[in-house]
Structure 1
Amino acid sequence: MPNIQRSSKKLTPEQIRKLKVQAKQIDRDDAENIKTQGRAVFAHHEQLRGILHTLVAERKRQGLSLTDLAGRTGIAKSNLSRLENSENTTPGLDTLERYARAVGKTLRVELMDAA
């Protein structure tokens, strides 16, 4: 384990004040970028959840139980239940693809130039 040396240097009140000002400036500068990234992640999550909701509706329309779906996908019934019922769970593309195949659908992912 590396030997970590701690600094015993004491900061003056003026140095502390300057560091606080710098920290606030960094927060202001990065705030919009952080918000933009957060909105993009949330939108991605909502898009994947929307696909899942469509697949769940198709499963139910076909009269398939979670047990049926587990047999077709190889995904444990408990995991499928958690996936369908937890709004905080973001399904992966592999999971969505397996689910889609199990209900007779195809998942298509398209790569496009950024807007």
Structure 2
Amino acid sequence: MHFRIRRHVVQLVRMTYDSAIKRGRAEVVGSVKLANPVLPDTLRAKLTNVELVEFESWLTTHHRTDQLKQELAALTLAEQMAQAQRWFERQEENQEEAQLVADELLVNWQLLRKVLKRHGLLE
């Protein structure tokens, strides 16, 4: 079994050998939302015990990886912002792209400021 992340869901994919074509065939057994990755009873019934263990292991690993990505992002944010500052300073000829990036950046910066204020980390 392997797992495919597609936007906000994870697909559980079972590989089975197809003797007619003499190779493996991927079959999507089901999917669960990444925000709340709980297996519904109908999907749980389709999985073998080994596949259930594989899913739980994948879920634990995915969760830990996501936490590490968040930590890395927080720890390197100041450096990334300094790099972004230098990039924006060079964008005299490409104002349209710079504006699109700036718009997205400002939305996310405002959300981050709200979190920092809520946790007493910003005046």
TM-score for the superposition, normalised by structure 2: 0.32
RCO comparison, higher one (Cα < 8 Å, 6+): 1
Which has the larger share of strand?
2
**Which is richer in helix?**
1
User: What is the TM-score with the length of structure 1 in the denominator?
Assistant: 0.34
